[in-house]
Amino acid sequence: MRFFRVWPPVPLGAAGLACVLLLVPAGLAGQAMSRTATTLDTIRRHPVFFHDKAIALVGTPVEIAGGALAGLSMEAPRQFIIVPRAGRVPLRLQELRGRLFDIGRFASDDSRLGPLNLAPVITTVMGDRWPAREQLLVLWGATWSDADAAPAPTLRNLALQPGRFDGKTVTLRGRFRGRNLLGDLPAWPRQSQWDFVLQTSDAAVWVVGKRPRGDGFDLAPTSRAHTGRWLEVTGRVKIVDTLPLVVAEQLRVADPDEEVEEAADPPSPALPAPEVIFSAPAQGEADIASDVVVRAQFSRPIRRDSLQANIRVRYADGVTLERPTWTATYRPAPMAVEIRFSAPLAAGVEVIVEFGGGIQAPDGVGMVPLTLRFTTSGRLRYGPVRQ
């Protein structure tokens, strides 16, 4: 077993927590967006929301680190690096697609970073220093296509290039998503209680200034049951805190559009199977107090509901004494499990704790099975065992 430094999980913060609370099963209103069309300004303002998300944005790449890398211009000390799936990024106006990572939200020894193969990029940009949060943004597995210099007034183009439509009147069609009930956007502009999100394909925009009701419809922004209805919205575009809004003048029911399927994003890298990297007692340790609490730390977060059924505790073959009952409690911060017994273990016996492959990480990857053995003594932590 290897010992790694314990590091706490990344705090979500208020914005991140709001996003988690707003997520609901996709079946309630069509599929959730697999990619989010946005802008560099919005990413700057809401980096937590976009971390580890597939995104699309429009920008003109520039050379970074003397031409060794490509990126988008950001104010120091922030840097935005583009890591292409293949080839070299053209230095002209592009629609860029990929998965965004805020490298500072990882610990330097995080096992999730290995499959991304970003060490050379981080070293080129940061040298021996590990970036702080929001200091090094990386668009990983990027693909691109030439962006339209004169985009048509569609919902997706509004999300990608809102500055080109600021102050103009547009007519857009999309699904009603309530007050961001599907977590499509990073923030609520709070113009009124009737604000709602309109979404299509991989883009979404806030609609404000008009209650969502009209001929044949009356929709509640707080009702998930109302999401998924198609509306046509006509109104004037304005930008508030980097988010484009449509100040509605007319609303009506619309037939669903035939949505164009966007090019697939690179899949997230396969993460390694979780394993036990530290245990107390240690493997083969003897003279362990009979009222021991067994602790095991994992290399990755674990689904707590997969623990109890996939841990087996027994005495070595030949021991006929009855083993006390036990419970397993998961501690998210150190990514560790604690096994507590209802009574002291028998004295002077070998105890076997089996961690099965059915213990899973949140992405469903099963752990590397482990059999932990230790031998008890004839003592308690606070006195001798009474036989």
The secondary element (H helix, E strand) that includes residue 204 is strand 203-208
Answer for the pair 135, 104: CB distance below 8 angstroms, yes or no. Answer: yes
CATH topology of domain 276-384: Immunoglobulin-like (2.60.40)
Instruction: Work out the average pLDDT over 114-123.
Output: 86
3-class SS at 74?
coil
At 190-242, the pLDDT tens digits run 999 999 999 998 999 999 999 999 999 999 999 999 999 999 999 999 999 99
C-alpha to C-alpha distance for 33 and 39, rounded to whole angstroms: 16
What per-residue confidence (pLDDT) applies to 262? 57
Answer for the pair 157, 148: CB distance below 8 angstroms, yes or no. Answer: yes
**All CATH 2.60.40.3710 domain ranges in the chain, comma separated:** 276-384
What per-residue confidence (pLDDT) applies to 268? 56
At 336-345, the pLDDT tens digits run 999 999 999 9
If you search the block for the tokens 């690179």, which residue do you land on? 266
> CB neighbours of 261 closer than 8 A, spacing ≥ 6?
none
Instruction: Work out the average pLDDT over 267-275.
Output: 73
Mind giving me the DSSP string for 175-197?
EE-TTTTT--SS----S-TT-EE
Looking from the CA of 297 toward its CB, the CA atoms found within 13 Å total 17
Nearest to 55 by CA among 16, 95, 112: 95
Is 0.85 topped by the overall pTM? no
Nearest to 384 by CA among 252, 305, 315, 290: 290
Q: Is residue 216 left, alpha or beta, with left meaning phi > 0 and alpha meaning psi from -120 to 50?
A: left
If you search the block for the tokens 């990029």, which residue do you land on? 121
What per-residue confidence (pLDDT) applies to 13? 37
At 171-187, the pLDDT tens digits run 999 999 999 999 999 99
Q: What are phi and psi of 113, to 5 degrees?
A: -75, -30
CATH architecture of the region 33-146? Beta Barrel (2.40)
In CATH, the number for domain 155-253 is 2.40.50.200
Nearest to 140 by CA among 174, 102, 168, 191: 102
Which pLDDT band holds residue 301 (cuts at 50, 70, 90)?
A: confident
Averaged pLDDT score across all residues of the chain: 86
Answer for the pair 356, 312: CB distance below 8 angstroms, yes or no. Answer: yes
